[in-house]
Amino acid sequence: MTDLYRDEPPAASGNGKLIFTIVIVVALAAAIIAWLWVNQQRQQPTPIEQPQVVEVEVPEQPQQQPQETEQLPPELPETVELEVVEEQPILPELATSTADVIEQLQLAQQDTSALTSTQLIRDAVVFIDNLRNGVVVRDKAGIDGPRNAFRVLEQNDKLYIDPRSYDRYNTLVDWFVSLDTEVLVTMMQRYRPLIVAALAEIGYPDTAPEQVLLEAIAVLNDTPAVGTVVELTDDTVMYRFADPALESLPDAQKQMLRLGPDNIRRVKLKLSAIQAAVSP
């Protein structure tokens, strides 16, 4: 009878031991190989799939000529000071300058119909130089005077200037005040060398034309204001002012009085505009 409660197993045969040992060794080797393979897979990076290279035939482009680089101008500073040189006009000789002066006035759309002088610059210089001394040189005025006769009124054995006498100067005053002040000043600057030469001819080689003109304007603008009723005296030669204060005035101012109050006012306004334009 078999003892079912023995602590030790029955002894194995020699072949059984050998087979058992081989199985253990094979299983252990398989486990080591499996562990090594898994560990190696973990350490190696995942290979990146390389893109497939596809050759594409590109048509040949025509060769372009290199473009010339545009040359840019050098940069200028923000503020550039340019020297402006005014071209001086070519002037005629003083003796033959009248036609040129008339032409320039007409080009500036100025009425020259009242001008009668054949030596315009010379006559104007002489006339204005005399005006600044209170003298009127009528034959150098360069214009025609009024054509209507001077009229007087007689009342109560006294003589007065007829107001209609003032009207004979209206056309001349209208022409004078119509002249463009800027044009007159520009003309004076243009012909200044000839004006200087004309002043030298009458003894003022070092006198500025502007000074002569301003002094003449001052004399005329100092003419006193009077009313329309101006008493005269008749000495059989010419009419004189009955008021000694008026009769003692320079001839240039007495001539202004003959223009009449309204014309005097208009002439003075024009003279003041010229004075302001010429003054330094």
Q: What is the pLDDT of residues 95-152, one digit of tens each?
A: 999 999 999 999 999 999 999 999 999 999 999 999 999 999 999 999 988 888 889 9
Q: Where are the alpha helices (DSSP H) in 6-131?
A: 14-43, 98-107, 120-131
CB 122 within 8 A of CB 201: yes
Q: What percent of the chain has pLDDT over 70?
A: 69
Decide: helix, strand or coil at residue 173: helix
Least confident range of 5-14, 57-66, 115-124, 179-188: 5-14
Q: How many CB atoms lie within 10 A of CB 96?
A: 9
Model pTM above 0.75: no
User: Is 120 domain-assigned?
Assistant: yes
User: Is 265 domain-assigned?
Assistant: yes
Q: What is the pLDDT of residue 55?
A: 56
Residue with the bigger pLDDT between 237 and 192: it is: 192
Q: In which band, very low, low, confident or very high, does the pLDDT at 5 lie, cut at 50, 70 and 90?
A: very low
User: Is 69 domain-assigned?
Assistant: no
Question: How many distinct structural domains can be found in the chain?
Answer: 1
Give me 147's structure tokens.
Answer: 């054509």
Token match 């100025």: residue? 110
Range of the domain at 162: 94-278
User: Is 76 domain-assigned?
Assistant: no
User: Is 48 domain-assigned?
Assistant: no
User: Is 172 domain-assigned?
Assistant: yes
3-state helix, strand, coil in the chain (%, to 5): 50, 5, 45
Q: In which band, very low, low, confident or very high, does the pLDDT at 171 lie, cut at 50, 70 and 90?
A: very high
Cα 212 from Cα 128, distance rounded (Å): 7
Q: How many CB atoms lie within 10 A of CB 46?
A: 6
